[in-house]
Amino acid sequence: QKEVEQDPGPLSVPEGAIVSLNCTYSNSAFQYFMWYRQYSRKGPELLMYTYSSGNKEDGRFTAQVDKSSKYISLFIRDSQPSDSATYLCASHTGGFKTIFGAGTRLFVKA
């Protein structure tokens, strides 16, 4: 079992929809949780970062960590075609040995 599991999709939604992207993890020692967006042929871009449990909001993006269920979520409100990309979740314990999920491909149709 991988330490961070993520459904690869693809996920296809209409413009304006609320998108929910999810990961599960198995290592109870993980304290730092990140979401990245990666466009084709580009490097990943850090979108959201959460320490421990809770919610964090930044514009149309909300990251949620539930440590009791070991579940990480990213919500995108009012999705746009420009949000079409691969989204990667990742975690580490604070020592920077980082484990990534496989990434979910998202398509937002105009």
Partner 1 sequence: EAQVTQNPRYLITVTGKKLTVTCSQNMNHEYMSWYRQDPGLGLRQIYYSMNVEVTDKGDVPEGYKVSRKEKRNFPLILESPSPNQTSLYFCASTFSSGGSYEQYFGPGTRLTVT
Cis omega (within 30 of 0) for bond into 8: no
| Residue whose CB is less far from partner 1, 44 or 65 | 44
- In angstroms, what is the minimal distance from the CB of 109 to partner 1? 24
Backbone torsions φ then ψ of 25, nearest 5 degrees:
-135, 160
| Residue whose CB is less far from partner 1, 26 or 109 | 26
Chain centroid, CA 10 distance in Å: 14
| Residue whose CB is less far from partner 1, 14 or 95 | 95
- In angstroms, what is the minimal distance from the CB of 43 to partner 1? 3
- In angstroms, what is the minimal distance from the CB of 15 to partner 1? 27
| Residue whose CB is less far from partner 1, 17 or 99 | 99
Cβ-contact 107, 11 below 8 angstroms: yes
Distance CA 99, CA 4 (A): 7
The pair of structure tokens assigned to 52 is: 């421990």
The pair of structure tokens assigned to 104 is: 């979910």
- Which residues here bind partner 1, judged by CB under 8 A? 6, 8, 32, 34, 41-46, 49, 51, 88, 90, 95-103
